[in-house]
Amino acid sequence: MNYRIEKDTMGEMQVPNDKYWAAQTQRSVENFPIGNEKMPKEVVEGFAYLKKACAIVNNKLERLDNTKCDAIKQACDEVIEGKLEGNFPLVVWQTGSGTQSNMNMNEVVANRASEILGKDFRKEKAVHPNDDVNKGQSSNDTYPTAMRIAFVLELQKQLIPAINKLKTTFEKKSEEFKDIVKIGRTHLQDATPLTLGQELSAYVDMLDKALLQVDDSMKYLVELAIGGTAVGTGLNSHPDFSPMVCEVLNEQTNTKYSFKSHPNKFHALTAHDGEVVLSGALNALASNLMKIANDIRWLASGPRCGIGELNIPENEPGSSIMPGKVNPTQSEAMTMVAVQVMGNHTTVSVAASQGNFELNVFKPVIAYNILQAIKLLSDTMLAFNDKCAVGIEANKENINKYLNDSLMLVTALNPYIGYENAAKIAKTAHKNGTTLKEEAIKLGLLSEEEFDKYVKPEEMTYPKK
């Protein structure tokens, strides 16, 4: 590989000749050979949107000339379009302020902008990474701004559509199964009846609440730290810089949720409670997806020695030794995602608590874990929807068998013969292996006609006057 010499305030560095990055990026590459987790591409994209907006505003404030502004804008657009992929090599495990990722972006944009202006950036810098691309900014306010831009865009692009898709499927299934009466279960034991549609309606409401919780977190995420610079004072930044940058970002991203300047930049730099709120919403969604996936795989267990009230799609062989075995793999994948997201939430919570004095220095790990959670949740919901949920069918034969065999239908008799007598019927039937009707008649508590009149499972699925 060919190298060139780049300089920064620390001295000279050898940098790959075919890359746009410079000395500060190279120092990070060499100083932090930790793990395989690269800075998320969504953060890189967020940075590019931000640097473009900052250039436009600095130009409006007459702090950056037209020529440099146009070149920076074009370079940022190329980053957003993925044309400069391969120029952002830094890992998550670097400085906790994200300074090196900010400088990685500054160097790449500056060198590409210099090239756009007809200069060989290896020999001549027409655009400076600090003085031009980073003008009026600090890593301490740009990194949290870039990550929030990334969160908002990814929530809109990935998570919200995925939740809506799975929710719509369960709405359809709930309607399709609304008249199928089945036995309920509490404490893993038989309980009173409900309809299969009612059972699935809980999933619809869970997903609807997830949308509301994500939407609620947006009011924190749209408040951006840009303009706070090093410690929140805005040193070297124009007083109008922050609101103007937010205005340009809204024009660029066309987001449903409008970005705005954080009212207290000292808060914005040192605390990430907004990120904890978002992570909490993702954690709550993961908890509900765990419940949904477990329900589905239990209800579909079998096919002959389990519950078997549901039939789910058979997607792939389930065993390398047992012929014909098929497993609930989409449920298994979704439950694994759920535990990963729960772990991510713990990481985000602890990281957000580490805002010492004027700066939190756990920003990259916060960004990584939230973006991973968004990606995993979005992907697993789409896969579960397409490969499992849409193909769920009711096994009416098993459903009816369990319903009619259940001792908990005796609950319908409480208003007529009292709790004690109803319990006596149930316990006797269980002991003797007989039916509720047989024992009710044998014990002289009800006639056959009375039993049939009072015990109607379909009328036990809703309150009556």
Ramachandran region of residue 188, left (φ > 0), alpha (ψ -120 to 50) or beta? left
* pLDDT recorded at residue 84: 98
Query: Could you tell me where in the chain the CATH 1.10.40.30 domains are found?
Result: 407-459
Write the pLDDT tens digit of every residue in 35-82: 999 999 999 999 999 999 999 999 999 999 999 999 999 999 999 999
Write the pLDDT tens digit of every residue in 336-391: 999 999 999 999 999 999 999 999 999 999 999 999 999 999 999 999 999 999 99
Instruction: Output the average pLDDT for the chain.
Output: 97
* pLDDT recorded at residue 355: 97
Tokens (6 digits) for 97? 């302020």
* 3-state secondary structure at position 151: helix
Label the pairing between strands 260-261 and 223-224: parallel
| 128 annotated ligand binder | yes
| 43 annotated ligand binder | no
* pLDDT recorded at residue 465: 82
- Domain 407-459, CATH among 1.10.600.10, 3.40.50.300, 1.10.10.10, 1.10.40.30: 1.10.40.30
- Decide if pLDDT at 293 tops 80: yes
| 130 annotated ligand binder | yes
Rounded average pLDDT over 4-15: 96
- Decide if pLDDT at 137 tops 80: yes
For domain 141-224+264-395, give the fold: Fumarase C; Chain A, domain 2 (1.20.200)
Residue reference for tokens 């608590």: 353
pTM for the full model? 0.97
Q: Catalytic site residues?
A: 187, 319
Query: Could you tell me where in the chain the CATH 1.10.275.10 domains are found?
Result: 3-135
| 433 annotated ligand binder | no
Residue 252's pLDDT band (cuts 50, 70, 90): very high
Query: Could you tell me where in the chain the CATH 1.20.200.10 domains are found?
Result: 141-224+264-395
| 131 annotated ligand binder | yes
Taking Cα atoms as reference points, which of 452, 408, 448, 411 lies closest to residue 430? 408
Which amino acid appears at position 13 of this protein?
M
* pLDDT recorded at residue 358: 98
- Decide if pLDDT at 18 tops 80: yes
Rounded average pLDDT over 122-145: 98
| 380 annotated ligand binder | no
Report the alpha-carbon distance of residue 217 to residue 353 in Å, rounded.
18
* pLDDT recorded at residue 265: 98
Residue 464's pLDDT band (cuts 50, 70, 90): confident
Rounded average pLDDT over 325-342: 97
Write the pLDDT tens digit of every residue in 421-442: 999 999 999 999 999 999 999 9
Residue 1's pLDDT band (cuts 50, 70, 90): confident
| 186 annotated ligand binder | yes
| 139 annotated ligand binder | yes
Q: Where are the alpha helices (DSSP H) in 137-225?
A: 139-154, 160-176, 196-221
Write the pLDDT tens digit of every residue in 190-244: 999 999 999 999 999 999 999 999 999 999 999 999 999 999 999 999 999 999 9
- In CATH, what number does 3-135 get? 1.10.275.10
| 255 annotated ligand binder | no
State the DSSP code for 136: T
* pLDDT recorded at residue 275: 98
The torsion angles phi and psi of 433, rounded to 5 degrees, stand at 70, 30
| 129 annotated ligand binder | yes
Report the alpha-carbon distance of residue 243 to residue 223 in Å, rounded.
10
- Decide if pLDDT at 83 tops 80: yes
- Which percentage of the chain shows pLDDT scores above 70? 100
Question: Is the peptide bond between 303 and the residue preceding it cis, with omega within 30 degrees of 0?
Answer: yes
